[in-house]
Amino acid sequence: MARKNKQDAQLVSDGMKRFNAIRPSTNVLYSIIFILLALMCVIPVVFVIIISFSAESSISKVGYSFHPTEWSVNAYQYVWQLRDAAGRSNILRAFLNSVGITVVGTVIGLALISTMGYVLSRRSFRLRGVYTTLIFIPMIFSGGLLSTYVVNTQILGLRNTYWAMILPLACSSFYVIIMRTFFATTIPDEIIESGKVDGASQLRIFLQLVLPISLPALATIALFLTFAYWNDWYQASLYIETNRRDLFPLQYMLVNIEQNIQYLTNNESFMSADSGTTLPSETMRMAIVVIAVVPIMFSYPFFQKYFITGLTIGAVKG
């Protein structure tokens, strides 16, 4: 009987789908619209990849083009050869800086966000009211750029340090609230009580009981953080002076080579090594863009669903 009902329901919903669907002509129209929109979002990336593989001669002939007259991997070779005064690869350094900042930042961020989220989700916590206010105020009021900048450079001494690119982005009230909502709605009180009965401290309960069953939410936050750190150029532009190239992440390197890529190289050594050839600067820039973009481009489709989870958790009020 139950099975029959289920089958009926399935039939009804199938029938509904067929009966209530948009007309085929409308469907074609919609499909075309979405294909165009999708292309609009993907084409710029493809374009930049093509430019990075164009020969410089092609660019001087036909400009940036989807079908260059000549292909070349020169840009990547030159980018690889960009060296600083000590002969170390600039691009590798920037890449490793980006990776390092992203990894360390994500770990620190996760620690800060998840602990606070957990504490806020404990109804018995004495300071819960105070904390909620404390977390809430920064969502509607902030000190603004100047004040933040002055505090970070003059009081906290973050100028020209990796921490300047890590700490300011490590936590945010929005993430804390996502985490709190997750803990409050999905972790049964019994688990925590059972931990307490066994004499475990809150730290242990948090680490050994709560975290292992919160992996989906942690993954979501971790992804938000990872992409934010990887894409960040703003903190670097605030706190890293332009002569500290050794601290540049990829994104900030891109900002600095916008006008002049020679700037990156220790000019003489480069030129002598290559006996007077000029740099293919146009394609080199695009090659660096590609290096910054490709890791994201190929990873985000797999992580997309976590983002969506995050969005929906965030929208639920606690």
- Is 2 buried (19+), middle (13-18) or exposed (0-12) by CB count in 10 A? exposed
| Binding of another protein by 13 (CB under 8 A) | yes
Residues between 243 and 272 with contacts to another protein, criterion CB under 8 A: 251-252, 254-255, 258
Nearer to another protein, 78 or 239 (CB): 239
Cβ neighbours, 10 Å, residue 221: 24
Distance CA 292, CA 123 (A): 44
What is the x/- site pattern for another protein, positions 173-202, by CB under 8 A? ---xx------------------x----xx
**Is residue 71 a contact residue for another protein (CB under 8 A)?**
no
Q: Smaller CB distance to another protein: residue 65 or 266?
A: 65
Tokens, residue 2: 């139950």
Query: What is residue 69's three-state secondary structure?
Result: coil
Compute the radius of gyration of the chain from its Cα atoms. Answer: 26
State CA 55 to chain mean position distance. Answer: 31
Q: Which is nearer to another protein, 174 or 270 (CB)?
A: 174
Which residues from 205-224 bind another protein, rule CB under 8 A? 206
Q: Which residue in 233, 239, 248, 306 binds another protein (CB under 8 A)?
A: 233
CB atoms within 10 A of CB 62: 14
As measured in angstroms, the least distance from the Cβ of 133 to another protein is 6
Residues in binding contact with another protein, number by CB under 8 A: 110
CB of 305 to another protein, least distance (A): 10
Interface region with another protein, contact rule CB under 8 A, candidates 68-76, 87-95, 107-115, 266-274: 107-115
Query: Largest alpha-carbon pair distance within the chain?
Result: 85
Q: Does 227 bind another protein (CB under 8 A)?
A: yes
CB 178 within 8 A of CB 117: yes
Secondary structure (3-state) at 160: coil
160 binds another protein (CB under 8 A): no
**Helices and strands of the chain, counted as H and E runs:** 16, 0
| Interface positions, 114-143, toward another protein (CB under 8 A) | 115-116, 118-119, 122, 124-127, 129, 131-138, 140-143
What span, in angstroms and rounded, lies between the C-alpha atoms of 96 and 206?
32
277 belongs to the binding site for another protein (CB under 8 A):
no
Nearest to 264 by CA among 31, 92, 13, 148: 92
Structure tokens at 46: 């493809």
Rounded to a whole number of angstroms, the minimum distance from the CB of residue 164 to another protein is 11
Q: CB of residue 214 vs another protein: minimum separation in angstroms?
A: 15
**Residue from 10, 11, 14, 27 binding another protein (CB under 8 A):** 27
> Do the beta carbons of residue 30 and residue 49 sit within 8 Å?
no
Taking CB under 8 A as the rule, does residue 12 contact another protein?
Answer: yes
Q: Closest approach of Cβ 77 to another protein, in Å?
A: 20
Tokens of 177: 């609230």
In the complex with another protein, which residue's Cβ is closer, 19 or 87? 19
Per CB under 8 A, which region of 72-80, 110-118, 211-219, 260-268 contacts another protein? 110-118
